[in-house]
A and B are shown apart, each in its own frame.
Chain A
Amino acid sequence: MPYIANTDADRQQMLEAIGVKSFEDLIRAIPVELRVKGDLDLDPALSEIEITRLIHEKTCKNICTQAANSFLGAGVYDHFVPAAVDTIISRPEFFTAYTPYQAEVSQGTLQYIYEFQTMICELTGMEIANASMYDGASAIAEAILMAVRKNRLKKAILPESIHPEYVKVIRCYTEGIGIELITAPCAYGVIDPDALEGLMNETVGSVIIQTPNFWGNMEDVFALEPIVHSNGKTLLIAAVDPISLAVLNAPAEYKADIVVGEGQAMGNSMYFGGPLFGFFASKLDMARQMPGRIVGGTVDHEGKRAFALTLQAREQHIRRDKATSNICSNQALCALAATVWMSLMGREGIREIAIQSTIKAHYLADRIKALDGYSLAYPTAPFFKEFVVNTPIPAAKIIQRLLPRALYPGVDMARFGNDRQLMIAVTEKKNKKDMDALVETLVEVKNG
């Protein structure tokens, strides 16, 4: 049997040592009438040779982005992942280890988390970061819950410019515990500051600003921040693309209180949207309200520097129903990939990634908006690496027509309520030829 070392003889010896005749004697506590009769209805076992063949058959039914010219984004991005990242995260020392509860034999994991926390603080300008959340969506939900713990105000404002899939997750997390979510309207692809001002009062616990927002546009954070902070109680939660922070303002510059976001773009492959990972940072005064694991520096009994999980009194294994969150397993290995990625990119590399993505995205947007029948959906809003285009025919038709050429022109916005829009993302991996090919085909499909 696969992965079982014991032979029949071993098992017999062990049963004898235990003092029973058969395995059945060990499960006497399970009433016979509760047991499965016969075999489970599963496919017969495959050998390694056979499973490899089966998996090959399955992969042939997918067409991956590497075999295509893809402009898909909307929360999951095809940024460059150097080979060294996978080499590190493939080390069993990292990937088969458990949560670092025994610090003396987990210093490797603990230190990279400490480095990860440091890098997230550096990018966001915040004072404390945790060891990761499940994804950007649940990180926002947990940020709203942390704001409630801090100011006891159970109302949160979610602008229309937040990723609709995030909103679904946030609703699931906050419904049923008396948190009221209020939608703030947008105008021209960004939050309408007047409308936000109209919704603000002393009962609002937090306002979430995603920037670049779902449509890729940059919110005018410097205009919005004073509105959010006007009553001295409401907290500003910024949800950001970490790569954008290489060139865009650190959220500390616009006085965000909590900073979260989706981290996949840093060193993690797309994998059909999972695993992703959320990062979570804040000011230090909220350290004891944070969800998730936090690693801290300390010393061993000889005074040597060491690392350990810290502030554990917040967590479910200690505080149970009074814990700051139910999170236990997080996305540690994804955070390792991001840490290695940030190290490889470095101070200049991550800037170059961000700059190339921006410049290329703007080149493509300029070319598309010049095409007959196509226009930018939000021409006045500044954007980062992603933008929405109005299309002359339904986007679904364009996507279908380009499928045989393995060209994925962007996300069909029909799933979010507008069937004549495409959302187009550009990363540093795209070159001029890729983008010109998209422009040419957009002309062709429009002309039938």
Chain B
Amino acid sequence: MADMIFDLSVKGRRGVTLPKRDIEGEIHQILPEKFIRKEAAELPEVSELDVMRHYIRLSHRNHFIEKGLYPLGSCTMKYNPKINEALVRHSCFNNIHPYQAIETLQGTLEILYELQRDLSEISGMAQVSLQPVAGAQGEFAGLKIIAAYHKGKGYTNKKKIILPDSAHGTNPASCTLAGYEVIELPSRADGRVDVEKLKEVVTDEVAGFMLTNPNTLGLFESQIREISDLIHGVDGLVYLDGANLNALMGIVQPGKIGFDILHFNLHKTFSTPHGGGGPGCGPVGVVKKLVPFLPVPLVDQTDGEFFLDYSHQETSIGKVHTFYGNYAIMLRAYIYIKMLGPDGIRHITENAIINANYLMKLIAPYYHIEHQEYCMHEFVADGTLQKKGHGISTLDIAKRLLDKGFHAPTVYFPLIINEALMVEPTETESKQSIDSFATAMIEIAEETKKDPELLRNAPLTTPVKRVDDAHAVKILDIRYPINRQ
């Protein structure tokens, strides 16, 4: 198919003009011959307009927030304000180097200092490190903090982390990376942590408990106090996966209800763009006794002079990023928080919860919902009625939604719900847009009965028809065969 950037290549065509060299020299005279590449890397030779047309054409093949509702559960696909984009592109933000003299960075450090403080307040934690660049890296940093805390107290037997079976996949994967064994705890019939079963697995070997709250079913874990008491009873620490923080802001401060550590996803809760998969930002916040273990450096000040603080270097877990993390993402979150203020933050949460409950109510007559109670910012419906009655899977439902101009919800997760459809509309959607999404879901429920073939063949209107994932694994075509010149 002739629509790879490489297919547009014409020998001698150029996409940039560089300044004429004002220093004479010849690479072969400067560098030893053995280090010089023999065969050129065949990057495409295209004009600037070729490049623009090619990538704009590709852009048209994407779904994105401005095109339509993007109800991916646990992903918080809220609107990404454009003022954030405009302001972060200021030259005094994007043209600063991490090793500049501190005197030339005061504006930047002041912002980071305030962001540490604002995130601490929102989460009820004592301090926040902005360094982790993604949620999973925040989890990893948090688990390393748990390990450092126990090491400092002389424990050698704390090898296990408990997490519920509804946990995000990153939780167990991060545990492995941090050197922990995972104990998976089956959820109670109502979808919450089974405190009685938890009592059975809590031993001296338990280092901590990782919990998403509200959990991935969209339900608040009401017994968090009992859970944290149990874990604290063996000097374990309680970790909050902050993926669902959009349901708590202004209503609950996790650091004040029993959680010791949490990570934020600035690219979920704080409106920074997902970028097609990143860059995100996953700051980690902790209670007072864990501050000495946070990554270095933090940002601090003395009499209004801001500086990078390495003073806890000896106790710190060290670093998870070459420099200070995804600064450009932090800036967007800073702007967002400043524009919301305390009332705005609470309104975000209230509207996220109202929107989710309203949507659940609208589609409940047509889709099975295992946990019939008010949800927080998201809920889990499923396709079991459609599967049993008509052999239509959740995948078919998801693909048909694409035809109707919507992105699909998160599908087949959490794993404890068969044919799961995990829906998170977010607060930035209006009642009207939720109505139209519900209408599409209801139409699909009707189509399931009348024309199941239509669903099995969906999507029909997208840039490509249903994609064969298994074939991609079978043929493993992971790079384009470039023509050598």
Contact = CB atoms under 8 A, between A and B. Distances in A.
Interface string A43-67: 1111110011011011111111111
Given A61-B110, A298-B472, A359-B25, A115 B4 contact: yes
A78 B70 contact: no
Contacts of A40: 121-122, 250, 253, 342, 345-346
A98 B342 contact: no
Contacts of B344: 1-2, 45
Interface stretch (B196-204, B275-283, B447-455): B275-283
Nearest to A60: B107
B479 A248 contact: no
B387 interface: no
B170 A300 contact: no
B45 interface: yes
Contact of B63 (A30, A41, A105): A105
Contact of A346 (B44, B328, B430, B477): B44
A242 B92 CA distance: 26
Interface in B254-301: 257, 267, 271, 273-280, 282, 295
Given A82-B48, A300-B468, A43 B338 contact: yes
B245 interface: no
A104 B374 contact: no
Nearest to B39: A250
Interface in B65-82: 65-67, 70, 72, 75, 77-81
A110 B83 CA distance: 28
Contact of B36 (A248, A345, A415): A248
A310 B473 contact: yes
Contacts of A302: 465
Interface residues of A, number: 209
A47 B81 CA distance: 12
A355 B110 contact: no
A365 to B, nearest CB: 10
B199 to A, nearest CB: 20
B111 A58 contact: yes
Interface string A337-366: 001101111111111110110111011000
Contacts of A343: 5, 15, 43-44, 46, 51, 54
B323 A247 contact: no
Given A31-B222, A63-B104, A249 B36 contact: yes
Nearest to A270: B97
A55 B335 contact: yes
A112 B56 CA distance: 11
Interface string B132-143: 011111011000
A330 B219 contact: no
Interface string A1-32: 11111100011011101111001011111110
Interface stretch (A153-161, A162-170, A201-209): A162-170
Contacts of B90: 55, 59
A317 interface: yes
Contact of B278 (A10, A86, A105, A132): A132
B466 A328 contact: no
Contacts of A262: 322
Interface string A68-105: 10101011101010101011101111111111111111
Given A45-B343, A295-B478, A107 B322 contact: no
B153 interface: no
A169 B320 contact: yes
B388 interface: no
Contacts of B172: 316, 320-321, 323
Name the residue in A39, A132, A328 with the highest tally of chain B Cβ atoms < 10 Å from its Cβ: A328
B474 to A, nearest CB: 9
Chain B interface bracket (under 10, 10 to 19, 20 to 34, 35 or more):
35 or more
Interface string B335-352: 101111111111110110
A108 B92 contact: no
B205 to A, nearest CB: 16
A43 B341 contact: yes
Given A51-B87, A347-B45, A58 B335 contact: no
Interface in A285-337: 287, 293-302, 304-313, 315-323, 325-334, 336
A107 B464 contact: yes
A300 B32 CA distance: 50
A26 B58 contact: no
Contacts of B235: none
A45 B476 contact: no
Nearest to A179: B179
Contact of B99 (A63, A249, A411): A411
A347 to B, nearest CB: 5
Contacts of B43: 119, 122-123, 342-343, 345-347, 350
A14 to B, nearest CB: 4
A432 interface: yes
B173 interface: yes
A384 B36 CA distance: 11
Contacts of A236: none
Nearest to B462: A104
Given A10-B430, A250-B37, A352-B18, A296 B476 contact: yes
B15 A23 contact: no
B276 A97 contact: yes
B189 to A, nearest CB: 15
A99 B463 CA distance: 17
B469 A333 contact: no
Contacts of A87: 52
Interface in B387-405: 398-399, 402
A176 interface: yes
A276 interface: yes
Given A19-B361, A43-B338, A362-B30, A91 B56 contact: yes
B478 A128 contact: yes
A400 interface: yes
Contacts of A10: 430-431
A203 to B, nearest CB: 20
A432 B103 CA distance: 27
A82 B298 CA distance: 33
A259 interface: no
8 contacts: A40-B346, A94-B64, A103-B469, A112-B58, A123-B43, A269-B94, A336-B55, A336-B276
Given A100-B277, A311-B476, A428-B19, 8 more contacts: A25-B374, A28-B374, A112-B55, A275-B327, A297-B472, A333-B277, A362-B25, A403-B101
Question: What 4 A-B pairs have minimum CB-CB distances, sorted nearest first?
Answer: A273-B323, A45-B341, A333-B275, A273-B98
